Every structure is written in structure tokens, then in C-alpha cells.
Structure 1
Amino acid sequence: MSERLTYLFRRYFDKTATVQERDELMQLINDPGSEAVVTSLMEEMYMSGEQVGHDPFVEGKRKKILNAVLGENSITDFTDKVVPITRNKFLWVRYAAAIAIFLGLSVGLYVYVKRSSLGQLAITKSRNDVKPGGNKAILTLSNGAKIILNDAKDGTLAQQGNASVVKLANGELAYKQGVSADEAPVYNTMSTPRGGQYKLQLPDGTMVMLNAESSITYPIAFTGKERIVTISGEAYFEVAKNKKMPFRVHFGDQTVEVLGTHFNICAYKDQPDFKTTLLEGSVKISKGSENQLLAPGQQAVYEPGSHKFNVKTVDIDDTLAWTNGHFLFDNTDIDNVMLQLARWYNIEVVYKGPKPTLKFTGEIRKDSNLSRVLRILESTGGAKFTISGNTVIVEKE
């Protein structure tokens, strides 16, 4: 276990660890038997000056942030293990707090502590708390009939021509068989509300995952020379390969064309930038006469000023954080942060007084109650959040 923990620890701080490796690392860190190894690795990193070259937190914020992640009484558990290193460098508890926050906000509220001393993470009670979203979607058939998928039982939900609409045991929606080539196309639309997300298997076997407040319109069977769907909001695709029938996704006035690949499109109408990110394979994105080929790991954003696509390399794990149950903030301004929370928790956001000019970096689990997420954001300083019914009031601290 020691060698594996060391390997995962170093990959994590080198930012080369996969999502699976990060989850495995956190499980090992929370194993009481790994305390000596973790302590040694933290000391080694501290003494070498890696990652944390200076104390990034304002005096008094370390304890506040740590309490936000662990619970109000948890700082005692850490101070029981405090060992001063030198007076001119920050004390072990300060470093431990920084590590706790780095791990907590970056990998989903995991922290380095003994299970026996901490027990379960404390969660602030709130009479006005809001639960996280879940698998929710509405299927609108070609005749206008609507099916609430989260309430529907497993099995066949509808029969459309030769195609059966089926809810699988894992909760996903799928299509069986299909119409013959000479029949007119029949279209369905799946839409997710605020606080919802859902998975769909298209008739050709393509897998689609819709984020909150998103939709996809598609035929119940793909015929002809191409496969075309239209989306709004955010969707992740794993396209089934078919060289004879290219797959095209329309969103706004942009189009992505692929043969078989994995990619993510974020195209919310209330956000100015539509982002297309490629995970594997290749895609061509176009807007009018402008088009751009993407390689794996690249993201394209159309810039109206230059009338061209701005292409950059991004962290794929960050792009797919939402599909793995996390919020990912990377120097994200408070408007964008609250927009994501509003979609997932189905809340309204009201700013009272001067708007905080803050940017957040980190990752928080989406299965947390709203009060916990807001407590962590608030603990970083600069903003105050109040839950009032289904509204969050944001004030400058």
C-alpha cells in the first residue's frame, strides 16, 4: 500500500492523476493505517517547497475554511496532531489546513484525518436547506405527449412505428429497433429541468448525458446519409462509429461533425461562450464559413470579435467533472458559480448591495446539500450567502 499511495500522491500533486486515481488516493488517505506514509509525504513536499511556497490564506481564514469542510468542531482533531516545524515557517496545523482545503475543494471534500477521531463529516443544519439535484427528465414524443422519466417504471414507455421507447433498469432511456428507411422521420425531445440530469441511448447506440436545464431533439431512427441532433444547454456524447453516416450536433448557429468520438458541448443561452471540448477521436466545428478541426484535449470557443474559433488545450477531467458528480471551478467568477448552483439546486439568486468581485478555484461534490456548498464558498472570504426558501441572497462580506 505504501508504494501505491506514494505513486498516487505524487501524480495528484503533479496534476497527472486520473479521476479513478484521485478517488483511490482519497480512499487510501482516509485509511487509518496510511497515516505514517501520508505524514511522511506531506513533510517531504513541505520541506521541498512544492505546491505551497507561501501561506495562501489570510490569517484567520485557515481555521474558518477547515471548519467549513470538516465541521465546526473538527479543528480540535487537527490540533491534536500539530507539530511546529520552525517559527518562521507556518506551523503544521496551518499546513495541514492548507492541505485539507486543497484536497477538500479539489477532490470532493476528502481530508487527511483519522476516521476514529473525526467520524463522519459534520454537516451544518439549516431549516432552509436545499437538496441536490438528481436524475430527472421529461420525454416529449412526436405527438406532444410528455413522459416524466424519473417517475416512469422500467420497461417500454411508448411505441412509435417500429420503434420502442424503453426505460432501462439503470434508469437510462433507450430505443429498440426503428422505422424503415422509407418512413418519414419522427422526432422526440428529452429535456432536463433545473436540478436534473439524465442519460440517453440514441437509436444508433450513441450515448448522451444531459446536464441540468438542457435538451436534445433527435429522430427515433437514423436514416439517410447523416445523423443529426439538436441540443441546448450542456451534453456529453460518446458517438457510435459509422463512417457512412456522419453524426452532426446543431447548437445555436454552430455545428459539430464527427464519425465516432467522445466530446462535450456547453451551449447555455444565458452564457456568452459556447464551448466544444474533444476527448478522443476528431471533430470539425463550424459557424457559417468558419470551421475548425479539434484534436483530443482541445477546446474551441467562437470569438465574435475575430470571427474565428479560439482553440486551447484543457484538462479533460475538469471538463467532465459534472458527469462525475462534481462542480469544477477554475478561476470562475461568482456570477458563473451561482449560475451553476442555480441550475443544479433549482434556486433563484439575488444579489444584495455591491456584488462580490470574487473568483473561485476548486471542486465540490454535487451530492452535497446547498448549505454545505455555500458554507465552503463563504469560508474563503469576501461573500456572504443566505438561504431564504428557494432563494439564495448573495452579499459582499
Structure 2
Amino acid sequence: MNRADETFQVSEIISRYVLGSMTESEKEELDGWLDRSPRNKLLFEELVRQEVASGKILAYGRVEWEGALKELLEQKKKLRLAGRKRRIIRLGSCAAVLLFACMGIWFYYIQTGNALIGEGEVHKEIPKLLAGKPQATLQLASGKTVFLTSDSSRRLEPEYGVEIRQDSGVIKYQVAEVQGGKEEQYNMITVPRGGEFTLILSDGTQVWLNAETSLRYPVEFVGNERKVYLEGEAFFDVTHDKQKQFVVETEKAKVQVYGTAFNVYAYPNEYEVVATLVRGAIDLKERGSGNRIQLEPGEQGCLAGGKLTKREVDVDMYIAWITGRMVFKSICLGDMLKHLARWYDVNIVFTEERLKEVSFTGEVKKYDDFTEVLDVIESTQVVRFRIEDRTIIVY
């Protein structure tokens, strides 16, 4: 039996093992394969361990499998395996399991250039690339710097009559005493690559900050408006106050509201500023000009090259990151990996520019190890990845 033939056969048997539909003859065949080499046992255990068999396959189920299955079967045909008589495995969850098992073995052979795992071969461990976590740096008005992580809950020293408390991955401001006639004093929170943090401002507005993001804001809002300054991406759930407009100012644009929920994407090195409205109403305005557009729920406004446009969107795609998911629809691989690189704090290198334009639709769990996310993408058979320390090579 050649390498490709055995790859598909073993994958199919493992898929039936995971689904609990393996026959006695298949069990004997699997036992024989496991006894052939300790490395076969290691690979089998890795493929069927609980977190993979549940979480990873469920994640795979969110990829568009029809194309992947078609491609896989086409490869099988090219390898002259189509003529083999086998039971047809029904589509659905079984198709995902078959592909998951087959890709686990098949990509191993392709990447290592080895035959089926045999005696005397050295197992190369794939490094773990852990997901981001709550972490930030808080610059107080006094000049003091505080490092924030999810491991601590504490009360910081009050500033200008405002209490500042940290509860795990959330920092909260609360006005302890009203002081009239004072000037606004600013704090700045900076979230690094591989980080996130949640902030509750003194007016009760809640802000979710994504990786590589900074927000400058008053300790207490004074005057006729509530203005904050954003670089990066944040989701705002603004406390309603018809007397005080809430303004998010970025390098190129302003978002003006009174009480609403919306997402702003405004990284300083990006070509466009994007605002996505979930609830209420907002104005998106170009700084330094009178150009503006008003958005209604379910709409997204974009400022690019001095031009303002808007369109209807599925807002879940743009706010899923605050609920532990990342949702992508017909997105270029280059753009998708740019988002993921910020969260996982890795570098991405494409061996060919054309690979950046590959389109991807799917959903991944934000807190999964990045190697599992790469497995989901790689399972489509469009691209492959090689991990070198914290650099991901796309080829």
C-alpha cells in the first residue's frame, strides 16, 4: 500500500473512531497501525484528544467545507485512489472529522517530506502560540504609570475626586465627589499587541479595547461634551446624556453621538477609518472639513482617501471580537492575518504576494492557540504555514 493510499485509509478509520462507528475489522486495522510505531500512537492521541475532537472540529465546522471536501476528493482522484471500493461517509459532522483526521496526517507528510510515521524518526514539536490576554499600561494624570493585568483586583489612588478601581481585566472610574470649576485631567490606557482591556468611564460608558490600541480620556468629563481620543480599535457602549454629546476623535475622523453602541476601527497606519453602528445613531465626520454622514443601526461608515461612504453590514462580523470570536466573510487572507497578528503578537511573512488575495470565510475562537487557528485556515488546502519562533511563513 503506498503512502497516499494508507493516509486516506487511516484517516477514514480514525474519523469513524471519533464518531463511534468503527467496525471490528477497522478496529483490528487501527490497532495494527498503532502497534507499528510509538509515533503512530502519539499522532493518534493528538488527533482524538478531547479538546481537538470537540473544540477544533466545531471550529472546522464553521469553515465552508464543500470546497475543501471537493479539493480533497480531487487530490484523492489524482492519486489514483478513486477506484477503491469504500463505504461512503455521510457529509455533515463526519465530513469535518474525516477532513480533520486526513489533514492532520496528510499535511504532516507534506511538511516533513516523510513517509508514514515509522520507527526511529524524531518527533518535531510544534511551538504553542497562545492567544492574547487582558494587559495594558495606564498613564495617570499625575504622571504615574500602572501596569494592568487580569491577575489583580485593586483600588488605585483617587485622582481629582474620582475613584479608580481595577477588577481583573476591567478598569472602572467613579466620581466620588463633585467638584465644580475644575479642568479636565486626562489618563491614557495603552493595550499592546497580544492584549485587550475593558474600561468603564466616569459617566458609565463602557469601552472594549482591542490589541495595539490606545485611548486618551478625561478622568471626569467637564463641560458640554464628552470627548475621547482613539488610536486602534474599540467598541463603545455610550451612556445616554442628551446634554453632553459623546465624541470619539481619531487621527482622521470624528464620531459624534449622545447614547449608542458602535465600533470604531482607526489604526494610525491604516488607509481607512471604519465606524459600525449597533444601536442608536452616530455621525461620522472627516476632521478638518464639513464632510459627514449619519449612520443608522446595521450600517457602516468608512472614511478613505478623504471620501465618506456607508453601507449595510452584518454587524456581528465587526463586534464578534468582544465576545471571544473572530468572524470573517470573503476577506483577503492578507487582511485577515493582519488582524490575527495583532491579537497573537506574531509576524506574518508571505512567500508570494498573490497569496494575500486569497479569499476566506469562516469563524475562529479568539482564545484558541494560534496553531489551531492556522489549522482551520490550512484545512481549506489553499495555503500552508510554517512556524519559526513568532514568525508565520505563508506559502
Same fold (TM over 0.5): yes
Corresponding residue for residue 74 of structure 1: none
Corresponding residue for residue 67 of structure 2: 56
Task: Please say which of residues 179-188 and 332-341 is displaced more in the overlay.
Answer: 179-188
Q: CA offsets, 1:202-226, max 9 Å, x none?
A: 0000000001111110000011111
| Pair 63,222 (structure 1): closer, same or farther in 2 beyond 3 Å | farther
> Secondary structure of 2:374's match?
helix
Aligned mates of 1:365, 1:299 — CA distance in 2:
24
Corresponding residue for residue 375 of structure 2: 375
Q: How many residues are treated as equivalent by the alignment?
A: 296
Contact 1:83–1:93 (8 Å) recurs in 2: no
Q: CA offsets, 1:34-70, max 9 Å, x none?
A: xxxxxxxxxxxxxxxxxx9x94336453799xxxxxx
Contact 2:271–2:304 (8 Å) recurs in 1: no
Q: 1:323: how far off?
A: 0.7
> Secondary structure of 2:272's match?
coil
Corresponding residue for residue 311 of structure 1: 310
For the pair 1:129 / 2:131, whether they are aligned, the reply is no
1:137-156 pair list within 5 angstroms: 137-150=136-149, 153-156=152-155
% identity of equivalent residues: 30
Q: 1:302: how far off?
A: 1.8
Contact 2:182–2:222 (8 Å) recurs in 1: no
Corresponding residue for residue 244 of structure 2: 245
Runs of at least 4 residues of structure 1 off by over 4 A? Answer: 98-101
Q: 1:351: how far off?
A: 2.1
Contact 2:68–2:381 (8 Å) recurs in 1: no
| Pair 232,63 (structure 1): closer, same or farther in 2 beyond 3 Å | farther
Contact 1:137–1:198 (8 Å) recurs in 2: yes
TM-score (norm 1): 0.69
Task: Please say which of residues 364-373 and 263-272 is displaced more in the overlay.
Answer: 263-272
1:107-256 pair list within 5 angstroms: 126-150=125-149, 153-168=152-167, 170-177=168-175, 180-256=179-255
For the pair 1:292 / 2:293, whether they are aligned, the reply is yes
Q: CA offsets, 1:13-48, max 9 Å, x none?
A: xxxxxxxxxxxxxxxxx9xxxxxxxxxxxxxxxxxx
Q: 1:354: how far off?
A: 4.9
| Pair 227,98 (structure 1): closer, same or farther in 2 beyond 3 Å | same
Aligned mates of 2:249, 2:192 — CA distance in 1:
20
Q: 1:267: how far off?
A: 0.9
Letter in 1 for 2:333: I
Q: 1:171: how far off?
A: 3.1
> Secondary structure of 1:57's match?
helix
Contact 2:183–2:222 (8 Å) recurs in 1: no
> Secondary structure of 1:269's match?
coil
Q: 1:99: how far off?
A: 10
Q: 1:382: how far off?
A: 2.5
RMSD of Structure 2 on Structure 1 (CA): 2.7
Contact 1:142–1:188 (8 Å) recurs in 2: yes
Aligned mates of 2:371, 2:351 — CA distance in 1:
18
Contact 2:252–2:273 (8 Å) recurs in 1: no
Aligned mates of 2:190, 2:73 — CA distance in 1:
42
Aligned mates of 1:310, 1:148 — CA distance in 2:
39
Aligned mates of 1:223, 1:313 — CA distance in 2:
35
Letter in 1 for 2:211: A
Letter in 1 for 2:169: G
| Pair 126,297 (structure 1): closer, same or farther in 2 beyond 3 Å | farther
Corresponding residue for residue 6 of structure 2: none
Q: 1:355: how far off?
A: 4.4
| Pair 171,57 (structure 1): closer, same or farther in 2 beyond 3 Å | closer
TM-score (norm 2): 0.69
> Secondary structure of 1:204's match?
coil
Q: 1:289: how far off?
A: 1.0
Aligned mates of 1:163, 1:318 — CA distance in 2:
36
Aligned mates of 2:73, 2:339 — CA distance in 1:
26
For the pair 1:301 / 2:296, whether they are aligned, the reply is no
* Bigger Cα Rg: 2
1:284-363 pair list within 5 angstroms: 284-287=283-286, 288-304=289-305, 307-356=306-355, 357-363=357-363
Contact 2:302–2:308 (8 Å) recurs in 1: yes
> Secondary structure of 1:274's match?
strand
Question: 5+ residue gaps in structure 2?
Answer: 1-53, 55-63, 76-85, 100-122
| Pair 196,126 (structure 1): closer, same or farther in 2 beyond 3 Å | farther
Contact 2:170–2:199 (8 Å) recurs in 1: yes
Q: 1:135: how far off?
A: 1.0
Aligned mates of 1:152, 1:132 — CA distance in 2:
16
Aligned mates of 2:147, 2:282 — CA distance in 1:
33
Letter in 1 for 2:369: N
Letter in 2 for 1:171: G
> Secondary structure of 1:343's match?
helix
Letter in 2 for 1:300: G
Contact 1:63–1:97 (8 Å) recurs in 2: no
Corresponding residue for residue 92 of structure 1: 90
For the pair 1:387 / 2:395, whether they are aligned, the reply is no
Letter in 2 for 1:388: E
> Secondary structure of 1:265's match?
strand
Aligned mates of 2:274, 2:352 — CA distance in 1:
32
